[in-house]
């Protein structure tokens, strides 16, 4: 056997890589979405429905209706993953329009002073891919997915580029930095299973010294890790 010849799987002990079922299907090349979802569409017979959805609903930018929708949202769910693929999802909220539309291919949301963990920002620093979901639970019962790549920008730097950014949000909070998202995909989340919610008074007992009402230790997790460390040390 010449060195240039491929090594048979029987020699290496490796299982041959199966042929890609979509390898010869050129119709999938330019579709949105992942290779995995296209494979499952074929496996479950949903290709035609999926292709109609891609054609009718998935954009690579924010159209006028999407930009107006974002401008009235008060919360967003943000999904990130680190370089290994371990995921995190977080809630971001503020007054209507706290997510700023910077253009048809770009938006930004503020990062305020928090618990210091910076899980989302840490993930973005390793892996820029971000998924955002904004949902209107009150009136239209509809959602908007925005997927793309993000970068972290300091507040002062972004204000040079976009001087019209709001200076402070509710309760006087000032952004420390922003996550700027370049839009790759934007598409609807249909209303079928979105519950209707009614806004209530947002006044909270922030002056109380009780941790649970403030949300500091609502799930009674404080001290558990310390107990575990003692148990580990004992072994």
Asked if pLDDT for residue 230 goes beyond 70, the answer is no
Asked if pLDDT for residue 156 goes beyond 90, the answer is yes
Which percentage of the chain shows pLDDT scores above 90?
A: 61
pLDDT of residue 1: 41
CATH label of the domain that carries residue 122: 2.30.110.10
Mean pLDDT estimate for the chain? 86
Residue whose entry in the numeric block shows the structure tokens 């090594």:
7
Stronger pLDDT, 217 or 67, i.e. the higher one: 67
Residue 210's pLDDT band (cuts 50, 70, 90): low
In the chain, the number of structural domains is 1
Instruction: Read off the pLDDT of residues 14-65 as tens digits, 9 standing for 90 and up.
Output: 665 566 777 667 777 788 999 899 999 999 999 999 999 999 999 999 999 9
pLDDT of residue 25: 72
Indicate whether 31 belongs to any domain.
no
CA distances from 22 to 25, 31, 32, 34 (A): 5, 12, 15, 12
pTM of the shown model: 0.82
Instruction: Read off the pLDDT of residues 130-147 as tens digits, 9 standing for 90 and up.
Output: 999 999 999 999 999 999
Indicate whether 25 belongs to any domain.
no
Give the residue numbers spanning the domain of 122: 64-189
Indicate whether 16 belongs to any domain.
no
**Token pair in block for residue 66:** 């999407």
Indicate whether 82 belongs to any domain.
yes
Mean pLDDT within 190-198: 93
Indicate whether 108 belongs to any domain.
yes
Indicate whether 14 belongs to any domain.
no
Indicate whether 204 belongs to any domain.
no
Instruction: Read off the pLDDT of residues 105-137 as tens digits, 9 standing for 90 and up.
Output: 999 999 998 889 999 999 999 999 999 999 999
pLDDT of residue 172: 60
Q: In sequence order, what DSSP letters do the residues of 90-155 get, joined into one string?
A: EEEE-STT-SEEEETTEEEEEE-S-SS--HHHHHHHH--EEEEEEEE-SSS-EEEEEEEEEEEEEH
């Amino acid at each position: 056997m010449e060195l240039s010849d491929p090594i048979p799987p029987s020699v290496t002990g490796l299982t041959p890589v199966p042929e890609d079922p979509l390898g010869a299907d050129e119709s999938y090349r330019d579709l949105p979405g992942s290779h995995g979802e296209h494979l499952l569409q074929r496996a479950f017979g949903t290709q035609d429905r999926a292709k109609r959805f891609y054609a009718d609903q998935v954009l690579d930018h924010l159209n006028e209706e999407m930009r107006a929708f974002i401008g009235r949202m008060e919360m967003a769910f943000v999904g990130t993953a680190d370089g290994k693929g371990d995921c995190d999802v977080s809630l971001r909220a503020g007054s209507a329009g706290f997510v700023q539309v910077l253009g048809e291919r770009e938006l930004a949301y503020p990062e305020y002073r928090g618990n210091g963990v910076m899980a989302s920002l840490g993930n973005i620093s390793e892996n820029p891919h971000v998924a955002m979901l904004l949902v209107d639970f009150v009136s239209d019962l509809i959602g908007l997915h925005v997927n793309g790549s993000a970068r972290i920008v300091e507040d002062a730097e972004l204000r040079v580029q976009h001087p019209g950014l709001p200076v402070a949000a509710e309760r006087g909070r000032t952004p420390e930095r922003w996550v700027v998202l370049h839009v790759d995909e934007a598409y609807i989340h249909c209303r079928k299973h979105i519950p209707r919610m009614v806004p209530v008074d947002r006044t909270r007992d922030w002056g109380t010294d009780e941790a649970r009402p403030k949300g500091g230790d609502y799930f009674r997790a404080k001290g558990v890790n310390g107990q575990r460390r003692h148990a580990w040390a004992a072994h």
